[in-house]
Structure 1
Amino acid sequence: MKVADIMTTEVVTIRNSATVAEAVKQMRRHSIQAVIVDRNHEEDAYGIVTVADIVGKVIAFGQDTRRRRVYEIMNKPCIVLNPDLGIEYAARLLASAGIHSAPVVQKSLLGIVSMTDILQQGDFIERPQTLQLKERLQHLEEAAHQTCYQKGPGSQACLDAWAKVDALEAELAHQQAEAIEKTAFESYMDDYPEAFKDREYDAWCGG
């Protein structure tokens, strides 16, 4: 699933000059934990004000929410999500940044996604990304073997096919936080040493 599949399209926005009290009213009215701060012009960035910002920067110090302004406590520019991003990567981005919500932007504001959206609407139980990557990797390896059989082990088409395998294999290792002791391509080269005997030398000479 992608971010676009689970995002909320009815986004609550607020002016940067609005009072924090107005932001609180918006959150209460819509039962949300964040409001997006509008851009002032096309080249401007979006901002965000969250419950944590209001509680930690205003309420915790006993300040008057009617006298503090949104621009004083907002996070701008805020982290934004691409609608085509996989929800696993969106979850990782939110978690690593320590935030609950982020706007979905592609030239303009399209929606907002929260940790709750990911948890409630994601298909990670039925279709874990790791299993999907393993299936795709298996198909790419089979395709690489077929290409190399048809074009020859030392052909550019063979190298290109294995480059795709290498990239996906690295992504899977990154997803699982594991190191690759020997790639599938390296194992393939072991089976055809003559076809790749000059490859290491060429790579060394090329820097």
Structure 2
Amino acid sequence: MLRAADIMTTDVATVRGSATVEQAVKLMQAREWHALIVERRHDQDAYGIITEADIVYKVIAFGKDPAKVRVYEIMSKPCIVVNPDLGVEYVARLFAEHRLLRAPVIQGKLLGIISLVDIINESQFIESPRLTILEQELQDAIQQARATCSQTSPGSEECIIAWDIVDKLQAEIAHQEAKKISKTAFEEYCEEFPEATKNRMYDTWCSG
């Protein structure tokens, strides 16, 4: 699974909150940046962000003088940040939930910035849709679980571990599709081999 760190842009700039919008714009224009991360005042402070939209909507739209407006007056702070190890599809969900266009990638320190463009261009979602990959992984895991249980026994520790992997994949697919699981692969297996419930401590699964 691709992570935020794999597709983020490391060429990112910071600006002081006390800087003028004019200075921020010049910095953006110099490198064709669409946003700047606003520096923290101290280690316990939060990062902020100023974007092209902030400048257009809050300064230009009202005819304000960018030389007299400070970054801290129009920035978003604290801004939503992304962990570099977060999977790209979860970054996309975070963006969708909060209507984000971009966000800084931070783990102790500023590592980069990730945007909608990065997600579209670098995530390989066309060539390798995440759901398709998960579904194939699930089928492979079910086959592996059945083979493992056949080689050992339905109540063996190896069998339990193999079905745990299936459970996690099936739960992730259900979450991706936003639907409930009517019957899990393990429940179907339990109907064939009731002894598989022997060492699994689930309240509802295979209880019938």
| TM bracket (short chain) | 0.7 to 0.9
Cα distance in 2, alignment partners of residues 142 and 40 from structure 1: 55
Tell me the percent identity.
54
Q: CA deviation at 1:14?
A: 0.3
Corresponding residue for residue 92 of structure 2: 91
Q: Give unpaired runs (5+ residues) of structure 1.
A: none
| Whole-Å separation in 2 of the counterparts to 1:143 and 1:95 | 36
Aligned AA (2:148): T
2:27 is equivalent to residue 26 of structure 1: yes
Distance 2:97 2:30 in 1: 29
In structure 2, the gaps of 5 or more residues are none
Question: Partner residue of 1:37?
Answer: 38
In 2, Cα distance between equivalents of 1:159 and 1:197: 10
Contact 2:154 2:195 in 1 (8 A): no
Aligned to 1:203, the other structure's residue is in SS state coil
Deviates more, 1:1-10 or 1:12-21: 1-10
| Aligned positions of 1:1-207 closer than 5 A | 1-196=2-197, 203=203
Alpha-carbon separation, structure 1, partners of 2:200 and 2:159: 13
| Higher mean C-alpha displacement, 147-156 vs 183-192 | 147-156
Runs of 4+ in structure 1 displaced over 3 angstroms? 197-200
Moved more, 154-163 or 6-15: 154-163
Letter in 2 for 1:3: A
Q: Which moved more, 1:172-181 or 1:183-192?
A: 172-181
Q: Distance in 2 between matches of 1:110 and 1:7?
A: 9
Superposed displacement of residue 162, structure 1: 1.6
Cα distance in structure 2, aligned partners of 1:9 and 1:152: 51
Matched positions, count? 203
Call closer, same or farther: CA 1:151–1:77 in 2, change over 3 Å. Answer: farther
Indicate conservation of the 8 Å contact 2:155/2:198, yes or no: no
Letter in 2 for 1:40: R
